[in-house]
A and B are shown apart, each in its own frame.
Chain A
């Protein structure tokens, strides 16, 4: 769906994006993360042809934008971070205008569906100048998906929404993804990216420093994992039994509650469970503390770690 090759953008002395190679597959929800000024918006603008790259190429649906400008634009829906609307129009008129631009068949039905989906149908005849930030954001999303695009590029899609709005939009994204729509989401709200995205790309100082699934990123960023165990009853010498396991680094606790630190190369809960059963214990609960995306993001960007090889493949 999206492929960039050596994509670079320089503004004078400043390199906003450098040698960016990303690959978004059909049907994926791809999260694009990075601190402020990392080059996310510049990248999105280059994907859409609104900024000319200094070097490199962008391919959408396997084609360069110049080879089929209108055809490609008709298959892409875009929501920008800030909502720039014609404030002298109503929501209905606004969507109708874009519906006519995209030459959608049965515009009225489609507008009704989108306004209903985003819960804006009761305010469709009000001027957009009177809309709240959240409503404007939802209308922007409705506009981005009005023409039933194959690829949707979203920049901070939930930044102005309240918790209900966030859930509403998250559910819509998941639903639409189930129908085969591909999403490219750039966001600062890491918890949302973590919940929604299949794969994540992290951009730092204009360079892609990580691109993988969330679980792989966690695995590659941490050397140890902490597992909390609750037993039905204390088991004699369980500390020694668990410490003897080759992957265990440390065991703490003596009663029915234990904390075990293991290597992070794989999930060892099954092995630990078997060892406890072998020692005569009954496991009531076992919880693995995983690194959150926020922790991974901070680790990668603050320490400027790169998890990509020079060729762009994951390490």
Chain B
């Protein structure tokens, strides 16, 4: 039996076990329920505010925006699950037992990745049903770029999961992996918001301090564009809104490269750290 045939079997078997464990558990459904509630509340609140302020509802993407907020939160949740996947199993000692058998670092990391990606497909299916029903109930339609973004969301999830697995392989303790993941994702989101805000300010009225701040944020942004898992999705979103197919495909390819590099790094770190508690 070849090495890859052994690896494929290990990936398949470990991913299936984890997937079934996730699907039979309550955690995923509770989180999805909360996300659905939050996005529904958010979209109703925005709609009502529009009506109150302007006397009419004028949203370009009344269904698509909350749908993508849902997908983003779900992808972040799966990234968080990935961040604890390896460190938790190492802490529990079950990782060691797995490695007594025909499982190596690469097959283990890929098994974890595959399981989370498959879980994302389940999340996507639930979200589609939820928003389709919402669309039927409110008579609000999905906008034209919906499917382009739908495909892009799979790559967002892929980047988030790879990012989580990378942190999990590196972290000594479960809690460190969780704190690190949440802190970094929050930092990326806040940075992205701050950068967008400051770049939107008209150049003529800027103070010297703001000009320097803008310069620093812009330079830091160049680095963050490569290390943040969100940046790849944002680039894809911009490409979709501009109808730029080339840029859209480039964002997908770069997401795949990002995923591959992080998973590769996770395997190397995992090999060095070992499986012992």
Q: Does A276 sit at the interface, judged by CB under 8 A?
A: no
Q: Does A84 sit at the interface, judged by CB under 8 A?
A: yes
Q: Does A240 sit at the interface, judged by CB under 8 A?
A: no
| Contact present for B101 and A101 (CB under 8 Å) | yes
Q: Does A50 sit at the interface, judged by CB under 8 A?
A: yes
Stretch from B91-99, B155-163, B194-202, B207-215 at the A interface: B91-99
| Contact present for B274 and A102 (CB under 8 Å) | no
| Contact present for A85 and B13 (CB under 8 Å) | no
Stretch from B2-10, B38-46, B144-152 at the A interface: B2-10
| Shortest Cβ gap from A84 to chain B (Å) | 3
| Shortest Cβ gap from A6 to chain B (Å) | 21
Interchain CA distance A85-B274 in the complex, whole Å:
19
Interchain CA distance A100-B97 in the complex, whole Å:
15
Taking residues whose C-beta sits less than 8 angstroms from the other chain, chain B's interface range is 20 to 34
Chain A residue with the shortest CB-CB distance to B16? A100
| Contact present for A48 and B100 (CB under 8 Å) | yes
| Contact present for B274 and A101 (CB under 8 Å) | no
Looking at B6, B10, B92, B100, the one whose CB has the most chain A CB atoms below 10 A away is B100
| Contact present for A73 and B96 (CB under 8 Å) | no
Select one of B3, B14, B276 contacting A70, CB under 8 A.
B3
Q: Does B1 sit at the interface, judged by CB under 8 A?
A: yes
Q: Does B242 sit at the interface, judged by CB under 8 A?
A: no
Q: Does A110 sit at the interface, judged by CB under 8 A?
A: no
**Contacts between the two chains (Cβ within 8 Å), count:** 66
Select one of B14, B17, B274 contacting A50, CB under 8 A.
B274
Chain B hits for A69, CB < 8 A: 3, 104
Taking residues whose C-beta sits less than 8 angstroms from the other chain, chain A's interface range is 20 to 34
Per the 8 Å Cβ criterion, residues 72-88 of A in contact with B are: 73-74, 76-78, 80, 82, 84-86, 88
Interchain CA distance A102-B96 in the complex, whole Å:
16
Q: Does A59 sit at the interface, judged by CB under 8 A?
A: no
Chain B residue with the shortest CB-CB distance to A45? B276
Interchain CA distance A149-B193 in the complex, whole Å:
57
Chain B hits for A84, CB < 8 A: 92-94, 96-97
Chain A hits for B10, CB < 8 A: 101
| Contact present for A50 and B275 (CB under 8 Å) | yes
Q: Does A103 sit at the interface, judged by CB under 8 A?
A: yes
Q: Does A298 sit at the interface, judged by CB under 8 A?
A: no
| Contact present for A102 and B93 (CB under 8 Å) | no
Give 12 CB contacts A-B under 8 Å: A45-B276, A50-B96, A50-B274, A52-B274, A69-B3, A73-B103, A80-B93, A80-B96, A80-B100, A97-B13, A102-B102, A147-B101
Chain A residues engaging chain B, CB cutoff 8 angstroms: 45, 48, 50-52, 69-71, 73-74, 76-78, 80, 82, 84-86, 88, 97-98, 100-103, 143-144, 147
Q: Which 4 residue pairs of A and B lie closest in terms of their CB atoms, listed nearest first?
A: A84-B93, A70-B6, A78-B100, A73-B102
